[in-house]
């Protein structure tokens, strides 16, 4: 019973983080049909913002809010700098500018801050442990689960019950038709980048709460995780992105518990093998998105 509780907490905690990462990536893809390869750097920006203001007398929650706000601003800047000027030209141009903006942010951190890991401030609750049914787990796992539940619920409410959410769903279904019906395209796209930045900021706090440091390349692993999760769940489905995140977490956690110690270093190879099997069975992902119109 203790093992089952521990396993469930680990899957839900890791799955919550993975689901949020995937959601932040697919919300932009759903409208533009373009992958934001600078998404990982939003997490890096969150970490370095916390590091740079850590010497202030501000409470940690105020610093965390400032870090998330900076991720939102950077997300919107990604649209204005890397996407908007070239998105009407070609997919290749957008991919190149996306990579270029990602590299620019990483090199800015290398030049103006440091290539070495920097410790970020974390509240004491992140290092505490709690016992549930005999299973001892870090409080940060429970915080991740709670944050994921709250954010996913708020996102579902936004998409289903607000004018902005309905407009974003319409744009994701048929962008051209949505524009013809009066939906402001640039506002919807900027809103998608802002929401993506907000999710990335929260994920950054939770992700760095596990490791306690930030480096210029910290966003690569979350970006890879988000990309794999969206492929598993379905690139055109918001629900699929969330499901894909939990499926990937279940695979990772199961391998951690079942692989012998000497094979743990090959865990990624086993994970990708299982992902390939899933895609051979469902090439379009576990969830199919809506039929879509053309991007403009």
User: Measured between alpha carbons, how far is 245 from 235 in angstroms, rounded to an integer?
Assistant: 12
> What 3-state class would DSSP assign to 213?
strand
Element at 147 (helix H, strand E)? helix 139-161
- pLDDT the model gives residue 292: 46
- pLDDT the model gives residue 265: 82
- Residue 279 included in any domain: no
User: Does residue 273 come out as left (phi exceeding 0), alpha (psi in the -120 to 50 range) or beta?
Assistant: alpha
State the DSSP string of 51-77.
Answer: HHTTTSS--HHHHHHHHHHHHHHHHHH
User: Measured between alpha carbons, how far is 33 from 25 in angstroms, rounded to an integer?
Assistant: 11
- Residue 280 included in any domain: no
Q: Domain range holding 101?
A: 14-123+137-219
- Nearest 5°: the CA angle 107, 46, 88 is 65
Count of beta carbons in the 10 Å neighbourhood of residue 187? 11
User: Measured between alpha carbons, how far is 136 from 84 in angstroms, rounded to an integer?
Assistant: 48
- Residue 55 included in any domain: yes
E strands, 26-139, are 118-119, 129-132, 135-138
User: Measured between alpha carbons, how far is 245 from 228 in angstroms, rounded to an integer?
Assistant: 8
- Residue 256 included in any domain: no
- What count of residues does the chain have? 296
Using the structure block, give the residue that is written with the tokens 């099997």.
277
- pLDDT the model gives residue 294: 44
Domain count across the chain: 1
- pLDDT the model gives residue 289: 59
- pLDDT the model gives residue 290: 56
Tokens describing residue 47: 């970490």
- Residue 244 included in any domain: no
Count of beta carbons in the 10 Å neighbourhood of residue 157? 11
- Residue 239 included in any domain: no
- pLDDT the model gives residue 260: 86
pLDDT of the chain, 296 residues: tens digit per residue: 788 899 999 999 999 999 999 999 988 888 877 788 889 999 999 999 999 998 888 899 999 999 999 999 999 999 898 888 887 777 788 888 888 999 999 999 999 998 999 999 999 888 899 988 888 898 999 999 999 999 999 999 998 889 888 888 887 777 777 777 787 878 888 899 999 999 999 999 999 988 889 999 998 888 888 889 998 988 778 888 899 999 999 999 998 888 888 888 888 888 888 888 888 888 877 876 554 444 44
Tokens describing residue 224: 């890879």
- Residue 43 included in any domain: yes
The DSSP 8-state label assigned to residue 80 in this structure reads I
User: Measured between alpha carbons, how far is 26 from 36 in angstroms, rounded to an integer?
Assistant: 9
- Residue 213 included in any domain: yes
């Amino acid at each position: 019973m203790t093992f089952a509780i521990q396993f469930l907490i680990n899957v839900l905690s890791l799955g919550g983080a993975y689901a949020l990462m995937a959601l932040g990536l697919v919300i932009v893809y759903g409208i533009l049909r373009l992958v934001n390869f600078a998404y990982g750097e939003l997490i890096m920006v969150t970490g370095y913002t916390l590091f740079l203001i850590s010497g202030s007398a501000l409470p940690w929650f105020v610093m965390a809010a400032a870090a998330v706000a900076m991720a939102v601003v950077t997300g919107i800047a990604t649209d204005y700098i890397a996407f908007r000027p070239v998105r009407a030209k070609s997919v290749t141009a957008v991919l190149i500018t996306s990579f270029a903006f990602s590299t620019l942010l990483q090199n800015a951190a290398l030049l103006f801050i440091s290539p070495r890991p920097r410790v970020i401030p974390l509240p004491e609750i992140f290092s505490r442990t709690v016992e549930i049914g005999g299973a001892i787990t870090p409080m940060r796992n429970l915080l991740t689960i709670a944050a994921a539940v709250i954010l996913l619920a708020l996102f579902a409410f936004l998409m289903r019950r607000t004018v902005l959410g309905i407009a974003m769903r319409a744009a994701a279904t048929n962008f051209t038709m949505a524009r013809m019906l009066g939906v402001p395209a640039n506002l919807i796209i900027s809103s998608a980048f802002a929401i993506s930045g907000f999710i990335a900021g929260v994920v950054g706090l939770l992700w760095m709460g596990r490791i306690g440091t930030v480096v210029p390349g910290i966003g690569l692993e979350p970006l890879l995780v988000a990309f794999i999760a969206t492929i598993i769940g379905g690139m055109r489905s918001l629900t699929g992105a969330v499901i894909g995140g939990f499926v990937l977490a279940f695979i990772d956690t199961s391998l951690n518990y079942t692989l012998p110690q000497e094979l743990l270093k090959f865990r990624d190879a086993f994970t990708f093998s299982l992902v390939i099997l899933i895609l051979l069975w469902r090439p379009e992902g576990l969830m199919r998105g809506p039929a879509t119109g053309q991007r403009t």
